[in-house]
Structure 1
Amino acid sequence: MASASTLPGPALQASKAALNAALAEEEAKIAANGDAQSEDGEIQEVDMQQQADAIRTVFNDPTNFNVKHPLYSSWTLWFDSPATKGRNLPQTPMSSFPQTPLPHTPGGLAAQGWMEDIKRVISFDSVEEFWGLYNNIVLPSLLPQKANYYLFKEGIIPAWEDEANKNGGKWSIQLPKDKNRGHIDKMWLYTMLAAIGETCDPLLEAEPDQQPQSLITGVIVSTRPQFYRLSIWTRSAPAGTGAPEDDKLRERIEAIGRHFKTSVLGYSEGQKLAGPLATEVEFLSHKDSEKKGKQAKKIVV
């Protein structure tokens, strides 16, 4: 098992924050008890070992843990399928999200109609809550055709028109269903873990002291009659202007794609994946996704 020092900056920060918060809570309890029981001038001894033993994580007490491991960001899982369309299932009202309204354009209105069918499953902000969710939902390999899971940072709607997504794009791969039914569940799990662990964007690990904003807004798995599709959405996309800042952004986007292909999906960097119903790991801006034919500019790793 890797030591804590090998964690990327955001994950290491969150882990330390959990333990520090637990220690501070225990110290406050001891101080409160001491004030209530001590007489003036009496010195209270603090048993530090007892204080440490009172902290229980899911790793040493899976049922009675009292300390959670917070994630660097809060996340929301969304779901839709043909079976949910038009049904009035319980969900959190969209007005509860601190979100810029979708624009009143033809595309914006289409997105608003689409949002009537997508269902918000749950939000979470800790490792323990993630595993509680994962262990109680249907795996992608068992989902009906045309179903989708969307895991996005809380407050970001899984739509192109969202303020956090409108200038971005997505890395995606399409995989034939028959050949990948036994692999898609693991691939989706690893994609989610990379997202919530903030390891999709290698710059966050390379420059932990600067804490740049993550480019990742969400991840998606889609089931179709003949294939699965996995996607990672980003908040920015290179414009191909040749300007230094745009070239730097392209390098960062490409690093995300290589990490997705090799560290998350488990392919070698030079491996060719395209074939019948299959694509390479490809990046396309949301704006280019609306274009047809050769006008769309893909990045392939």
Structure 2
Amino acid sequence: MTAVASQLTGPALQASRAALSSALSDHPGVPSNDDEDGEVQEVDMQAQADGLRTVFSDPTHFNVKHPLYSAWTLWFDSPATKGRNLPQTPISAFPQTPAPNTPGAAAAQGWMEDIKRVITFDSVEEFWGLYNNIVPPSQLPQKANYYLFKEGIIPAWEDEANKNGGKWSIQLPKDKNRSNIDKMWLYTMLAAIGETFDPELTKADLAGSPPEPVITGVIVSTRPQFYRVSIWTRVAPSQAEDDPLRKRIEQIGRHFKLQVLGYAEGQKLAAPLATEVEFLSHKDSEKKGKAKKIVV
């Protein structure tokens, strides 16, 4: 096969290589190197590999898939999509699909009319196929948004999965972060679809029932002077310091800041237009600045 140069770096490149390596080793029809008598058999791996198409060799018609824990849906809006029947989106390789009939859809119908549902995917390869065919946040027009939410959850407070939750978010000046926002958004999506934001899931006893995932979606927004990246949760702690849910939510925010965004422990982002990594419940967001935020 012809080698394809990758522009990915760090964790993203490692994740891609792991998926491809697993595809070659686990794909049905690829024989083992050992026969039943223990003798080493010569296998033409090149011939076997020629039949496999990954997102890197064929971004649209690949045939290797590794399932995700959950299915995810990408939504998009920008000034160009508002009030139009057909979206003027940067999506080039995937068709539009109808919006789901979820419990909160009716309540959010007016606001959701301008948000276009792009595609739902449930595998590592489909994610990279999507990522390789959309415009990165650094090149989006002003006031545009990408919303990546679990299948069946709409990116609105009114959805049943979101109404009792909140969001971690960070706001970053555009002029200083144009070269970083694409990587930040990629790593945020990878952490979401890989279910690595929540330590309660990664530490769960495999013999028992894992707790319900609390991440419902992630968002990146472009504004005239800043970018905003957010993580939405289905639950939010109370203002009480001893609320047992508070520690779990704080751990999600700390992972977001340290492992995903790459900031140092205790690092402050004090700068014009910048915010720290902050959590606020959706209900408190309606209080116009009167609510106390959680900051990591």
TM-score by length of 2: 0.77
Secondary structure of the structure 2 residue equivalent to 1:254: helix
The answer to whether the aligner puts 1:219 opposite 2:218 as a matched pair is yes
Quick one: distance in 2 between partners of 1:191 and 1:61?
Answer: 21
Alignment deviations for residues 21-71 of structure 1 (CA, whole Å, 9 cap, x no partner)? x55xx69xxxxxxxxxxxxxxxxx9x9977x99687667994596431111
The answer to whether the Cα contact below 8 Å between 2:280 and 2:293 also exists between their aligned partners in 1 is yes
Quick one: distance in 2 between partners of 1:274 and 1:233?
Answer: 23
Alignment deviations for residues 198-226 of structure 1 (CA, whole Å, 9 cap, x no partner)? 11112111115132221100000000011
- Name the structure 1 match of 2:292: 297
1:239, CA displacement in angstroms? 1.6
Pairing of 1:52-91 with structure 2 (within 5 A): 62-63=57-58, 66-89=63-86, 91=96
- Name the structure 2 match of 1:234: 233
Among 124, 129, 133, the alignment partner of 2:126 is 129
- Name the structure 1 match of 2:268: 272
**1:226 aligned partner, one-letter code:** Q
**1:100 aligned partner, one-letter code:** P
The answer to whether the aligner puts 1:160 opposite 2:157 as a matched pair is yes
1:274, CA displacement in angstroms? 2.7
Q: Residues 272, 59 of structure 1: CA spacing in aligned structure 2 closer, same or farther, 3 A cutoff?
A: same
Q: Residues 200, 93 of structure 1: CA spacing in aligned structure 2 closer, same or farther, 3 A cutoff?
A: same
Quick one: distance in 2 between partners of 1:262 and 1:250?
Answer: 18
**1:78 aligned partner, one-letter code:** W
Q: In terms of Rg, which structure is larger?
A: 1
1:228, CA displacement in angstroms? 0.3
Quick one: distance in 2 between partners of 1:61 and 1:292?
Answer: 47
Q: Which moved more, 1:167-176 or 1:59-68?
A: 59-68
- Name the structure 2 match of 1:100: 103
Quick one: distance in 1 between partners of 2:126 and 2:260?
Answer: 22
Quick one: distance in 2 between partners of 1:184 and 1:121?
Answer: 21
Quick one: distance in 1 between partners of 2:127 and 2:228?
Answer: 22
1:130, CA displacement in angstroms? 0.7
Among 273, 279, 287, the alignment partner of 2:283 is 287
**2:220 aligned partner, one-letter code:** V
Unaligned segments of structure 2, at least 5 residues:
1-9, 31-36, 88-95
Among 190, 196, 200, the alignment partner of 2:197 is 200
Identity %: 73
1:92, CA displacement in angstroms? 2.5
Unaligned segments of structure 1, at least 5 residues:
28-44
The answer to whether the Cα contact below 8 Å between 1:141 and 1:181 also exists between their aligned partners in 2 is yes
Quick one: distance in 2 between partners of 1:240 and 1:177?
Answer: 32
TM-score by length of 1: 0.76
- Name the structure 2 match of 1:191: 188
- Name the structure 2 match of 1:171: 168
The answer to whether the Cα contact below 8 Å between 1:223 and 1:229 also exists between their aligned partners in 2 is yes
Quick one: distance in 1 between partners of 2:255 and 2:221?
Answer: 20
Of Structure 1 and Structure 2, the greater helix share is in 1
Quick one: distance in 2 between partners of 1:61 and 1:48?
Answer: 31
